[in-house]
Amino acid sequence: MKVLVLHGPNLNLLGQREPEVYGTRTLDQINEDIQVLASQLGFEVDFFQSNQEGVLIDRIHRGIGHYQWIILNPGALTHYSYALRDAVAGAGIPTIEVHLSAIQAREEFRSRSVIAPVCLGQISGFGATSYLLALYAIFEESTRGK
């Protein structure tokens, strides 16, 4: 089982970026935690971060036929990127949308995700643990009925 973990704009600044909202763990530390749990669950995992919408879209396209799952934190693209939404829908790779913060409990513009409707589900509000919960969800989904 191969899982692609995609981080969108500004998530490279985790650790120093609004720590009261996003916590103090850096992206590398979060990726390490994801890697540890993924290995325990028997998943292969690749990581990618970009601040550019088109680069994220290209990465999804390259993942077709390669990954069985995507865990996606689209950052602010969550709220307006129809292009990223179309990439997720078009790739046909089951995707879980993840957020560190509780987007529904923040500014109004954050409460809407244009990407969640084409995802299997959305996990938000648990800090870096949101990513780990997504891995557990994949584990449950992929072992269901076996």
Contact footprint for ligand DQA (CB under 6 A): 10, 73, 75-76, 78, 99-101, 103, 110
Q: Closest approach of Cβ 32 to ligand DQA, in Å?
A: 18
Q: Closest approach of Cβ 136 to ligand DQA, in Å?
A: 18
Q: Closest approach of Cβ 10 to ligand DQA, in Å?
A: 5
- Spatial neighbors of 133 by CB under 8 A, at least 6 apart, are 123, 126
* 99 catalytically annotated: yes
DSSP 73-130: E-GGGGGT-HHHHHHHHHH---EEEEESS-GGGS-GGGS--SSGGGSSEEEESSTTHH
* 22 catalytically annotated: yes
Judged by beta carbon, residue 63 or residue 75, the one nearer ligand DQA is: 75
Identify whether the C-beta of residue 67 lies closer than 8 Å to the C-beta of residue 91.
Answer: no
Catalytic position from the list 61, 66, 80, 99: 99
- Enumerate the active-site residues: 22, 99
